């Protein structure tokens, strides 16, 4: 739910978190190369995020719903999805489209009923797909009964469930955000800024106090220093676990505690889209108490077999990411989201202005770090979500042809599904859905875009309805007026058209997830980076469990043909007689040694522009 650019910008202002290139030790490299026999489901999972408003409308009101998700489980199973993460579908005023929750133990009527949810759970189980829910613990809606009660007086049962403050005195009643308090004029207690523009403090006349909100003013932050709040939220978690969900994606979990001193935060030196000075969130995010909270939450979830926690975590480096797993005796998150590979553009000194993240150096750095610096924990790679431009647009340039862009998307999919990481994807990424940013303010639905236009255009562009067919409304709805407009490229980019094209991105993704499940090296193998000084081609090998064969992956991240020279015996200690092409973006034939009496040979392979090559080592 966060604006990623702002979060990373704030994090990178901290000298202690400055990024420094690291070289793995021989022991770390050797450990990463060892195949695993761990069958824990989430360590191999393909997790598919569904934004419920935009996936499939079953009743013709122009808004996606739970029954729409149920109707597409065959598609998701065929795609190779192990679990779906459903963005919030709880009752909500929809100020932030579900991330402002007014009841944690029910379904918003626009999405269906609890009976519909139970049918989805049962059908998903029959399709071997697990359900993960989005749990928003940092804040509630201002329409939640807890906040309505809390805001009514200073003595009600929920009076201390949110962050309230009298403010600090001012002699100037015309000062920004000044209000008449019980003892004179006051302004907010500090300079904290909301991530969604403006001051993080909002006045309530009935209490004659300010309340704190990290996000919208309609999303007041809960006070987790009150034990009653934690108990209520853990009860909500148990409600859904008892119903049968397999875990949760924890929204904005790093922001649930604030420094009780309420000191001013350092400023970033920038103004937000509304003109308010941005603070850097060092006193309102990533406080040590968050880790203690996660340990207690993990204890609750661990009482249910095979359940797990994903965390929405944005970190400036892999070392910081490691801390969110916890320790062996105090575990926290099973899968904190690793957004460094898929979103972080500042890494490794890369300055390619045309396409700063599509470089072999960037991918090699963050894959290597994830495999060697997490103490054996499973990474969770992610390239797309509901808060950021789609990867199709971020990793490509307007000057590239459609074919080049599609091949770049295939490179991203190959990394997502052939590394050792668990995979988190977003609806529509498998068909190459693009970002459709509104061009007029009157078309904007996202409040960030409404208040910040034109500097901030909001997140509607990455949330447009799923494109199922080339027919009316892209097969998403029978209603001519969908909640967001259908992307204008739906006639060519849709599941129906791509399912019949053997070279489409959809078929590519299906082939990758099938290989991921069926090939022992891709399912259980370790990983060894190859040709580490190559600036153009990323190559790595997935080592094989006993009785299986390793798999080589080479990805040309440039617009020019590239020839690689891979001596697998020297680079990975693997004797090679031939490479059997499993599949790729080009018709690359089997490569055999000239003299098979030799134990190994150097593979000379020319990759076309933006080509992906996946081969089994014979």
- Annotated active-site positions, please? 251, 312
Place of tokens 């499973």: 378
Name the packing angle between helices 505-518 and 402-418 (round to 10°).
20
CA distances from 18 to 8, 67, 122, 315 (A): 11, 46, 47, 11
Both tokens of 587, joined, read 């018709």
Q: How many CB atoms lie within 10 A of CB 452?
A: 20
Q: Which residues contact 204 (CB under 8 A, 6 or more apart)?
A: 151, 210, 211
| Phi, psi at 223, each rounded to 5° | -100, 95
Q: Which strands make up the sheet holding 537-542, listed edge to edge?
A: 527-530, 537-542, 551-556, 612-617, 578-584, 591-592
**Chain length of the chain:** 618
Both tokens of 391, joined, read 């990867």
Helix (H) / strand (E) containing 152: helix 145-152
Contacts of residues 157-162 at CB distance under 8 Å and 24 or more positions apart, as own/partner, are: 160/223, 160/226, 161/222, 161/223, 161/226, 161/228, 161/229, 162/211, 162/212, 162/220, 162/221, 162/222, 162/223
Pick from 189, 195, 188, 90: nearest CA to 140: 90
Q: Is the peptide bond before 319 cis (omega within 30 degrees of 0)?
A: no
């Amino acid at each position: 739910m966060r604006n990623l650019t702002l979060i990373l910008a704030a994090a990178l202002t901290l000298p202690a978190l400055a990024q420094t290139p690291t070289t793995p030790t021989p022991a770390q490299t050797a450990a990463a190369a060892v195949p695993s026999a761990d069958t824990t489901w989430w360590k191999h999972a393909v997790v598919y995020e569904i934004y419920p408003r935009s996936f499939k409308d079953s009743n013709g009101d122009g808004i996606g719903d739970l029954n729409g998700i149920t109707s597409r489980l065959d598609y998701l199973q065929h795609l190779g999805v192990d679990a779906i993460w459903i963005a919030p579908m709880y009752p909500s005023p929809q100020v932030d489209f579900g991330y402002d929750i007014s009841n944690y133990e029910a379904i918003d009527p626009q999405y269906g009923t609890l009976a519909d949810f139970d049918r989805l759970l049962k059908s998903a189980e029959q399709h071997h797909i697990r359900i993960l829910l989005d749990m928003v613990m940092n804040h509630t809606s201002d329409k939640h009964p807890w906040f309505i009660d809390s805001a009514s007086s200073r003595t009600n049962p929920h009076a201390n469930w949110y962050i309230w403050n009298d403010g600090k005195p001012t002699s100037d009643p015309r000062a920004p955000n000044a209000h008449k308090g019980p003892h004179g004029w006051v302004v907010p207690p500090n300079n904290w800024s909301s991530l969604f523009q403006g001051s993080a403090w909002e006045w309530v006349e009935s209490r004659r106090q300010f309340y704190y909100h990290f996000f919208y003013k309609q999303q007041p932050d809960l006070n987790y220093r009150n034990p009653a709040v934690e108990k209520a939220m853990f009860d909500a978690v148990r409600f859904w676990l008892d119903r049968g969900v397999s875990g949760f994606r924890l929204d904005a979990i790093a922001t649930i505690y604030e420094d009780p001193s309420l000191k001013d935060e350092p400023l970033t030196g920038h103004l937000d889209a509304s003109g308010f000075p941005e603070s850097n969130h060092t006193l309102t995010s990533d406080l040590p108490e968050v880790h203690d909270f996660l340990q207690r939450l993990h204890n609750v979830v661990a009482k249910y077999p095979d359940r797990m926690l994903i965390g929405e975590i944005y970190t400036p480096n892999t070392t910081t990411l490691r801390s969110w797993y916890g320790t062996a005796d105090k575990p926290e998150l099973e899968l904190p989201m690793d957004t460094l590979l898929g979103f972080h553009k500042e890494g490794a000194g890369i300055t390619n202005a045309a396409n700063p993240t599509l470089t072999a150096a960037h991918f090699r750095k963050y894959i290597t770090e994830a495999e060697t610096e997490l103490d054996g924990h499973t990474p969770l790679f992610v390239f797309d979500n509901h808060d950021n431009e789609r990867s199709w647009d971020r990793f490509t340039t307007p000057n590239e042809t459609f074919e080049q862009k599609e091949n770049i998307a295939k490179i991203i999919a190959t990394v997502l599904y052939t590394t050792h990481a668990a995979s988190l994807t977003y609806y529509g990424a498998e068909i190459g859905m693009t970002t459709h940013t509104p061009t007029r303010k009157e078309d904007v639905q996202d409040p960030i875009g409404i208040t910040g236009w034109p500097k901030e255009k909001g997140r509607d562009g990455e949330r447009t309805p799923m494109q199922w067919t080339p027919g009316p409304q892209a097969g998403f709805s029978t209603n001519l007026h969908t909640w967001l407009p259908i992307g204008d490229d739906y006639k060519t980019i849709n599941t129906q058209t791509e399912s019949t094209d053997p070279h489409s991105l959809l078929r590519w993704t299906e082939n990758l997830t099938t290989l991921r499940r069926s090939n022992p090296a891709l399912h259980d193998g370790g990983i060894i980076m190859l040709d580490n000084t190559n600036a153009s081609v990323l190559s790595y090998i997935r080592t094989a469990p006993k009785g299986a064969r390793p798999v080589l992956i080479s990805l040309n991240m440039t617009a020019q043909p590239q020839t690689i020279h891979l001596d697998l015996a020297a680079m990975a200690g693997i004797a090679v007689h031939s490479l059997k092409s499993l599949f790729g973006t080009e018709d690359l034939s089997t490569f055999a040694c000239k003299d098979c009496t030799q134990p190994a040979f150097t593979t000379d392979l020319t990759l076309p522009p933006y080509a992906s090559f996946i081969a089994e080592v014979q």
